[in-house]
Amino acid sequence: MESAKKTPLYDRHAARGAVFGETGGFFLPKNYGDPEGEAKTARESVGVIDISSRGKLMLSGADHIKFLQGMLTNDVKEKVPGTGVYAAILTPKGKMISDMRVFKNEDSVYIDTEPGTNGNIAELLRRFRLSYKAEVLDVTEDYCVFHVCGPGSGELIEKRLGIDVKQMKEYDHQACGEATAIKLNRTGETGFDVLFENGGAQEIWGILLENPPVPELCGQDALETLRIEAGIPVYGRDMDISTIPIEAGIWDALDFEKGCYVGQEVIARIKWRGRVNWHLMYFEAEQNGSALPGDTLWVKEKKVGRITSSTYSPNMGKNISIGYIRREFRDFRGEIYVGGEHHIDKTPNTVKITEKPFYSRFE
């Protein structure tokens, strides 16, 4: 943690009572003293979360779109400037190297990645660039990002930044002065990333958070609760180099018409002729039990799955989890026991599968 970096807004957060933790190499607020209350506020009105540790890449050059078309699982070429897509980079065997959100500008592409993954992704893109005229810049340390979410987020963005968000769809983005607003679903609520250069950080803080102050600043703890409630998997926790995108259910990251990309043959074969052995599912604890990341799921003496993310949901009043279940148990609705790697280690705790994410009203 000693090597973690401070953002230009570190002192502002500290003055608000932030409890800091390391996220992707940066000190960011874990909470401001009441993580459960922060999560409730984001569901009831507006929450503002500093997510400046997210990886940020910029691609430009004469061939940058053509290059990305052969690397990413989704179609960037057909998008118009001001829009974007969810995508992934795969190995030749169809396993996930990373997921990402890709935003097209007039002469460049901005890529948003999970915290701490930007360096490896930038290196991979440069290695495979070959003769393409494409420049790959890692600008993670040059920009800050707030995520504004909740039922009042659109109104706040319109009033504070002067952007009309009523017609914006997910991944649409629009510049306003020193900031760019991007409509994104990170919590199951209508939400917007506000991206701005470090030099404008103090100005944006004042515009977005002061006069009058916003209802609540939220930390990383609240964000984790909100995204698990929304059933949103993240790379590094719910997906990794062993995951096939279809196992994680991220169909919106896949395009089956755009042509070849690395790993495309495997993905196409699974869609049209095959099946996967694991499926990402949602679990809620029965009674007062819980399931933790890394726990094994059991039906009688058969190992049927594993937990990848979990949290206590103050909005639901129960423990909830994301994880994987074997194909043949996808529709199982009986008791599933929670335990360790061996059957003898199972606990009295049980969970049940829910058919849909626990919460979603993103519009």
How many angstroms separate the first and last alpha carbons of the chain? 37
Same domain, 191 and 267: no
Q: Last residue of a domain, which of 234, 253, 273?
A: 234
For residue 197, give every residue at least 6 positions away whose Cβ sits within 8 Å of its Cβ, in sequence order, or none: 142, 143, 144, 178
Position 349 in a domain: yes
Based on the domain organization, do 94 and 36 belong to the same domain? Answer: yes
Question: Are both 254 and 185 inside the same structural domain?
Answer: no
- The residue range of the domain holding 86 is 1-234
Question: Where is the domain boundary, 234, 269, 293?
Answer: 234
225 phi, psi to nearest 5 deg: -60, -45
Query: pLDDT truncated to tens, each residue of the chain (363 aa)?
Result: 458 999 999 999 999 999 999 999 999 999 999 999 999 999 999 999 999 999 999 999 999 999 999 999 999 999 999 999 999 999 999 999 999 999 999 999 999 999 999 999 999 999 999 999 999 999 999 999 999 999 999 999 999 999 999 999 999 999 998 899 999 999 999 999 999 999 999 999 999 999 787 768 999 999 999 999 999 999 999 999 999 999 999 999 999 999 899 999 999 999 888 899 999 999 998 777 789 999 999 998 899 999 999 999 988 888 999 999 999 999 998 889 998 887 666 677 889 998 788 888 876
- The answer to whether residue 360 sits within a structural domain is no
- Closest alpha carbon to 212 in 165, 176, 160: 160
Q: Tell me, what CATH number does 93's domain have?
A: 3.30.1360.120
Specify the pTM: 0.95
Question: Has residue 49 been placed in a domain?
Answer: yes
Q: Tell whether 325 and 344 lie within a shared domain.
A: yes
Q: Look at residue 209 and tell me if it is in a domain.
A: yes
Query: Domain tally for the chain?
Result: 2
